[in-house]
């Protein structure tokens, strides 16, 4: 019958997705924890499921691992439909948030466990353990017990244990959540390096957008059981598809606007008492908005300028400077515009003004993203 699939057994081209999720739905009673999610991830890609807690990212991950039974839809890993496969026959490995290392086994026994379950020979298992310990730069801890290791070391052991049986897919459920900030930064880099070196497909779950931005090849932003947007980190940051994504990823000034007129490639917005023309290409939604539609102009703080040397076509907002914070090379300003909007800007050192002074803030039409206003007024402008 069907044996567990190993990556090297799979005669797959790089173009075939490592995992394909088709219209997955997971209901708990009436509540849809995962609501019609489809996702393709190519081999060797580091993809992150990002979203606030309760957005369904963990449930999605557990559905892939087989711990949650999907209500509808399909999960295909390495070309094989595993939607109804038992957890212990799936070619996927998982790294748990609390590591779930077996406390009564040594590090080596922990790492060997997955290989043992595949009935590999003792020699092969020993060799694999050695490789794995080498990979995580902890060659000498094999005979220690997990409780005697630090959090960061345990985290790496958990990773090695999951990688040892050579899974098609590695699932990571907020694996860095328990670490302190400094260690977290270091582990982010190390995790990324290990992913590159092994060439494995990683599906990483986190609610920390900075973490997602620094590690991922692709990010899927989730909310209320749905994927709001999938793309490379830069793309999501620059061209957020929705107001939610814009607000969740990085800092953003969200300025309400109304569509006053549309022509072929330009859009006239009524914003902050002005009519402002922006390229229609800056609208990140799939459909061009109609006249009268409520929109939100997303401006990143670093795209705000204090400058008299403005360019033609800039949006100009007069604002009072409330507070400023030094960030080394840059200064972060908190402002309130004449229209009562709270604004954040990051500017170069020499640009800042005096507190309580009125300044003209500018942003260029090329630097903004226009998204549809959130239904139900969810976003905080």
Partner 1 sequence: MNRIPTAALPIWFWLFVAYLFLPLVVMAAMGFRDSNFIAFPIQQWTTGWYRSVLADEEILSALWVSAQVAVYSTTVAIAVGLPMSFVFARTRGPMRALMIAAIVLPAFLPVIVSAIAIRMFLGHLGLETGIAAISFGHAIGSVPFVVIMILTRLNAMSSNLADAARNLGADDVIVVTRIVLPFLAPALFGAMMFCLLLSFEDFVRSFFLGGVDPTFPVLLFARLRFGFDPGLAAISTIVLIASTALGLFAERHIRRRNMGR
Partner 2 sequence: MTQILVSARRFGVYRNTIDTLARVPALRVALLAAIPLGWIAVANLAPLVQMVAISFQDRYPLPPGEPGQWTLRHYAAFFERPHYLAAFTRSFVFATLATVLTLLVMFPVAYYLSKVAPRNWRIRLLLLVIAPFWISEIVRSFAWILMLANNGAVNSFLALLGFPGLPLDLLYNNISLTIGVLYLTSLYMLLPLYAALEKIDDSALEAASDLGASPFKRLWRIVLPLSRDGIVGGCTLVFLLVIGLYAMPQLLGGSGNTLFASTIGQVFARAGNSWPLGSAFSMILIGVALAYVGLFAILFRSRGPGRSG
Q: Which residues here bind partner 1, judged by CB under 8 A?
A: 4, 65-67, 86-90, 92-94, 96-98, 100-105, 113-114, 117-118, 145, 147, 161-162, 165
Q: Residue 119, interface with partner 2 (CB under 8 A)?
A: yes
**Closer residue to partner 2 (CB): 40 or 106:** 106
**Closer residue to partner 1 (CB): 33 or 361:** 33
Which 168-207 positions form the footprint of partner 2 (CB under 8 A)?
none
**Closer residue to partner 2 (CB): 92 or 283:** 92
**Closer residue to partner 2 (CB): 112 or 203:** 112
Q: What is the largest CA-CA distance in the chain?
A: 75
Q: Which of 15, 30, 88, 263 binds partner 2 (CB under 8 A)?
A: 88
Please provide the DSSP assignment of 46-78 as one string. EEEEE--TTSSHHHHHHHHHTSS--SEEEEEET
Q: Which does 372 bind (CB under 5 to 8 A by kind): partner 1, partner 2, none?
A: none
Q: Which does 124 bind (CB under 5 to 8 A by kind): partner 2, partner 1, none?
A: none
Minimum CB distance to partner 2, residue 158 (Å):
20
Backbone angles phi, psi at 106, to 5 degrees: -70, 170
Distance CA 204, CA 201 (A): 10
Stretch that binds partner 2, among 84-92, 151-159, 163-171, 204-212 (CB under 8 A): 84-92
Minimum CB distance to partner 2, residue 82 (Å):
14
Is the distance from CB of 218 to CB of 41 less than 8 angstroms? yes
**Closer residue to partner 2 (CB): 94 or 271:** 94
User: At 28, is the secondary structure helix, strand, or coil?
Assistant: strand
Minimum CB distance to partner 1, residue 361 (Å):
49
**Closer residue to partner 1 (CB): 103 or 340:** 103
Q: Residue 86, interface with partner 2 (CB under 8 A)?
A: yes
Q: Residue 116, interface with partner 2 (CB under 8 A)?
A: yes
Stretch that binds partner 2, among 41-49, 85-93, 251-259, 325-333 (CB under 8 A): 85-93
**Closer residue to partner 2 (CB): 85 or 351:** 85
| H/E segment holding residue 123 | helix 122-135
CB count within 10 Å of CB 84 equals: 10
Using CA atoms, how far residue 79 sits from 25, 37, 62, 198, 200, in Å, is: 20, 18, 19, 20, 16
Cα–Cα nearest to 304, from 331, 269, 284 = 331
Tokens read off for 67: 């711990």
Q: In degrees, to the nearest 5, what angle opens at C-alpha 47 toward C-alphas 41 and 53?
A: 120
Q: Which does 100 bind (CB under 5 to 8 A by kind): partner 1, partner 2, none?
A: partner 1
**Closer residue to partner 2 (CB): 113 or 145:** 113
| 294-299 and 274-279 beta bridge pairing | unpaired
Is the distance from CB of 104 to CB of 68 less than 8 angstroms? no
Stretch that binds partner 2, among 113-121, 233-241, 312-320, 343-351 (CB under 8 A): 113-121
Stretch that binds partner 2, among 86-94, 182-190, 196-204, 350-358 (CB under 8 A): 86-94
Minimum CB distance to partner 1, residue 170 (Å):
11
Distance CA 270, CA 296 (A): 11
Distance CA 236, CA 298 (A): 12
Residues 6+ apart with CB under 8 A from 64: 19, 21, 75, 77, 92, 169, 171, 203
Q: Which of 28, 31, 104, 117 binds partner 2 (CB under 8 A)?
A: 117
Which 226-285 positions form the footprint of partner 2 (CB under 8 A)?
none
Binding footprint of partner 2 on the chain (CB under 8 A): 86-88, 116-119
């Amino acid at each position: 019958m069907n044996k567990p699939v190993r990556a090297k057994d799979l005669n797959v081209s790089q173009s075939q997705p490592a995992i394909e999720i088709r219209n997955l739905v997971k209901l708990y009673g009436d509540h849809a924890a995962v609501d019609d999610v489809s996702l393709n991830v190519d081999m060797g890609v580091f993809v992150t499921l990002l979203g606030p807690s309760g957005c369904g990212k963990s449930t999605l991950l557990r559905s892939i691992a087989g711990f949650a039974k999907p209500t509808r839809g399909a999960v295909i890993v390495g070309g094989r439909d595993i939607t109804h496969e038992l957890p212990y026959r799936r070619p996927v490995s998982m790294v748990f948030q609390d590591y779930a290392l077996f406390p009564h086994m040594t590090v080596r026994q922990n790492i060997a466990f997955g290989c043992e379950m595949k009935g590999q020979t003792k020699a092969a298992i020993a060799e694999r353990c050695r490789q794995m310990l080498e990979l995580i730069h902890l060659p000498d801890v094999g005979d220690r017990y997990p409780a005697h290791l630090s959090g960061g070391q345990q985290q790496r052991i958990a990773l090695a244990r999951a990688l040892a049986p050579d899974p098609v897919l590695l699932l990571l459920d907020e694996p860095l959540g328990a670490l302190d900030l400094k260690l977290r930064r270091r582990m982010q880099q190390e995790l990324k390096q290990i992913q590159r070196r092994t060439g494995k497909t990683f599906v990483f779950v986190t609610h920390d957008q900075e973490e997602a931005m620094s590690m991922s090849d692709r990010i899927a932003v989730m909310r209320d059981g749905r994927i709001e947007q999938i793309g490379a980190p830069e793309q999501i940051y620059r061209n957020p598809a929705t107001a939610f994504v814009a607000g969740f990823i990085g800092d953003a000034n969200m300025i309400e606007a109304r569509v006053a007129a549309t022509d072929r490639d330009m859009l006239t917005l009524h914003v902050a008492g002005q009519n402002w023309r922006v390229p229609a290409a800056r609208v990140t939604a799939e459909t061009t908005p109609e006249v009268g539609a409520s929109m939100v102009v997303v401006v990143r703080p670093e795209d705000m300028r204090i400058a008299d040397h403005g360019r033609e076509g800039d949006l100009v907002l007069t604002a009072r400077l409330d507070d400023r914070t030094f960030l080394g090379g840059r200064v972060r300003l908190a402002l309130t515009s004449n229209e009562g909007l709270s604004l954040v800007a990051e500017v170069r050192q020499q640009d800042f003004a005096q507190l309580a002074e009125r300044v003209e803030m500018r942003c260029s039409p090329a630097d903004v993203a226009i998204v549809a206003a959130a239904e139900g007024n969810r976003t905080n402008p």
